[in-house]
Structure formats: C-alpha cells, structure tokens
C-alpha cells in the first residue's frame, strides 16, 4: 500500500475569500484540477489542504457570506482553537516559548519571568490574540536589561476589554454607514454596472449578506 502523501497547502483567513473565488476553490477541491493563469491546459493536483480562519463559518453560511458546499468540503476534520483569553492556563508555556524565541533572535540571555508578570499576562484579555502577545514579548525582550524579563507595555485588562468592544462596534458602524450611503446613491440598486456591488467591489450575494448581517433596511 502506498502511504506517500502529496504536498500540503495552507489557506489562511479562508473566511475572507470572496464568494466568486469560493466556487473556484471548491472545483479544485472536488475535481483535483486547476488551470494556470493564462493557460488553457488543465492540470491535476494532489495536495493536502489545511485552512484556517478566525470567523464562525457556520454563521457565515447561514448569513449567505460563505458557500455551504465549500464549508462541508473543508470541514472534514475541524480543529477549533479557543481565543487566548479563554485559555489562560496556556499562557505561561506560550510566554516561555516566546521569551526563548526572541531572546535567541535578539541575542539576549533572558531566562527569568517574574510571577507578577505572568499574572498580568494571564489577566489581560488579548484582543489581538497570539499576534498581540508576540509583539508584547518582543518589545519586552528588546527593553530588558539583564536576565529577568521586564515588560515594556502597561497591560490594563479593563481598558483592553472596553477597547476591543468599542473597536468592534466602531468598525461595524462605519461599515454600516458606508454601505447605506452607497445604497442611497444607487437608489438601492445592488447589481449591474451602476449598482452598489460594483462600487463596493463586492459580489452581489456577498453584499446582500452584509446588508442582512448589519441590519441595513431601506426606508
């Protein structure tokens, strides 16, 4: 029996893929075929596909922002990883790993992590998840003198929670107002050359999904 595996392709932020491209990806996954840009020749491909997203794709499917058939095709073996704020017990090991990583990168000899710092890191809600923690630890290593870690950032847990909430609500409000203004300018026409979807550079079905999700209603 041949157990040799083909190459692996990693599709990050799969939830951001426009609907018109989702259908093309689905074809590749189902038929194992693709065409190079500018070439009429069909090629066969045998790869393992790993996809990642921070979105709730099941909710996106219900709202019409993600294809149901592609969701089923991708979710053969789903692995759900909770956000960092919901797994504080993992933070000490992650901090230790990042301290070692950036110490090597920056030529430092940081070996000690004070308990108070670990407490502070565990209490912080990390609205930017692991990427934010990487930045915080790298800045800490840069500013540390000696072998004991010193934080360069003042991590205020309560302010971070409010910031994350306000940021999400603020971005959603900006998007809602922008789409509403474009719809008014096009007299609520979505498709066509002078439609809102063309102006917003969105697939019409994607725009309709955003309108439903944001609760935009025609007066």
| Beta carbons of 125 and 160 less than 8 angstroms apart | yes
Residues 87 and 125 sit within 8 Å (Cβ to Cβ):
no
Distances in whole angstroms, Cα of residue 31 to Cα of each of 8, 28, 37, 43, 146: 17, 5, 18, 11, 57
How many other C-beta atoms are found inside a 10 Å radius of the C-beta of residue 147?
Answer: 11
pLDDT of 34 higher than 80: no
pLDDT tens digits for 144-167? 999 999 988 777 655 555 555 555
Per-residue pLDDT at 3 exceeds 50: no
**Domains of the chain by residue range:** 8-74, 84-155, 158-214
Residue 198 pLDDT: 80
- Model confidence at 73: pLDDT above 60: yes
As a whole number, the mean pLDDT across the chain is 82
Do domains 8-74 and 84-155 share one topology? The answer is no
Domain 8-74 belongs in CATH node 3.40.50.300: yes
**What top-level class would CATH report for the domain 84-155?**
mainly alpha
Residue 97 has what pLDDT? 96
Give the model's confidence band at 109: pLDDT under 50 very low, under 70 low, under 90 confident, else very high. Answer: very high
Residue 4 has pLDDT above 60, yes or no: no
């Amino acid at each position: 029996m041949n157990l040799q595996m083909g190459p692996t392709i990693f599709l990050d932020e799969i939830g951001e893929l426009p609907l018109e491209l989702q259908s093309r990806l689905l074809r590749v996954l189902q038929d194992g075929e693709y065409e190079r840009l500018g070439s009429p020749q069909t090629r066969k491909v045998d790869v393992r596909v790993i996809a990642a997203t921070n979105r709730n794709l099941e909710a996106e499917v219900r709202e019409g922002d993600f294809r149901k058939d592609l969701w089923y095709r991708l979710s053969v073996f789903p692995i759900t990883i909770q956000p960092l704020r919901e797994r504080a017990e993992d933070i000490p090991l992650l901090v230790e790993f990042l301290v070692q990583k950036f110490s090597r990168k920056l030529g430092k000899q940081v070996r000690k992590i004070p308990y108070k710092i670990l407490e502070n890191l565990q209490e912080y809600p990390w609205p930017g998840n692991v990427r934010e923690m990487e930045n915080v630890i790298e800045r800490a290593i840069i500013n540390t003198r000696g072998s004991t870690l010193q934080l360069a950032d003042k991590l205020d847990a309560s302010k971070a929670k409010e910031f994350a909430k306000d940021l999400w609500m603020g971005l959603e409000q900006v998007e809602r107002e922008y789409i509403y203004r474009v719809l008014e300018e096009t007299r609520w026409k979505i498709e066509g050359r002078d439609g809102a979807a063309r102006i917003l550079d969105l697939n019409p079905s994607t725009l309709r999904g955003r309108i439903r999700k944001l609760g935009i209603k025609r007066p």
